[in-house]
Amino acid sequence: MPNDTILPFGFPAIGRKKLVAAFDGGRITSDGGVLLLGAVERRLGIAAKLARLIADPRNPALVTHSVDDILRARILAIACGYADADDLDHLRTDPAFKLACNCLPDSGGDLCSQPTVSRWENAPTRREVVRMTYAMIDLYCASYVRPPAAVTLDIDDTPDIVHGHQELSLFNSHYGERCFLPIHVYDTATARPVAVLLRPGKTPSGAEIRGHLRRLVRRIRLHWPDTPLTIRGDSHYGRPEVMTWCEANGLDYIFGLAGNAVLDRLVEPIADAVRVQRALTQAPAVRRYSEIRYGAQSWHGQRRVAARIAATPQGLDIRYVVTSLRRGSAEWLYATMYCGRGAAENLIKLHKAQLASDRTSCREPRANQVRLILHTAAYWLLLILRNAIPRPQPLATAEFTTLRLHLVKIGACITETATRVRIAFTAACPEGALFAALGRGCLPAGP
Reduce the secondary structure of 142-179 to three states and give it as a string. Answer: HCCCCCCCCEEEEEEECCEECCCCCCCCEEECCCCEEE
Give the DSSP H or E segment for 280: helix 268-281
Residue 445 has pLDDT above 50, yes or no: no
Domain boundaries, the chain: 26-123+410-442, 126-366
Each residue's pLDDT tens digit, 335-383: 999 999 999 999 999 999 999 999 998 989 999 999 999 999 999 999 9
Reported as a pLDDT band with limits 50, 70 and 90, residue 5 is low
Whole-number Å distance between alpha carbons of 174 and 201: 10
Q: How many CB atoms lie within 10 A of CB 85?
A: 23
pLDDT at position 442:
65
Reported as a pLDDT band with limits 50, 70 and 90, residue 21 is confident
The maximal CA–CA distance of the chain, rounded, in angstroms, is 85
Q: How far is CA 106 from the centre of its chain?
A: 34
Average pLDDT over residues 55-76: 94
Strand partners, 447: none
pLDDT at position 3:
53
Residue 446 has pLDDT above 80, yes or no: no
Each residue's pLDDT tens digit, 154-165: 999 999 999 878
Each residue's pLDDT tens digit, 221-231: 999 999 999 99
pLDDT at position 165:
81
Please tell me the pTM assigned to this model. 0.93
pLDDT at position 443:
52
Each residue's pLDDT tens digit, 83-117: 999 999 999 999 999 999 999 999 999 999 999 99
Residue 217 has pLDDT above 90, yes or no: yes
Average pLDDT over residues 35-55: 95
Taken in order 261, 265, 271, 275, the sign of the CA dihedral is positive
User: Distances in Å between the alpha carbon of 328 and those of 148, 325, 336, 423?
Assistant: 21, 8, 10, 56
Domain 126-366, architecture per CATH? Alpha-Beta Complex (3.90)
Cα dihedral value 238, 240, 245, 246, nearest 10: 40
pLDDT at position 447:
37
The percent of residues above 70 in pLDDT, for the chain, comes to 98
pLDDT at position 4:
56
Asked if residues 359 and 367 have their Cβ atoms less than 8 Å apart, the reply is no
Residue 32 has pLDDT above 70, yes or no: yes
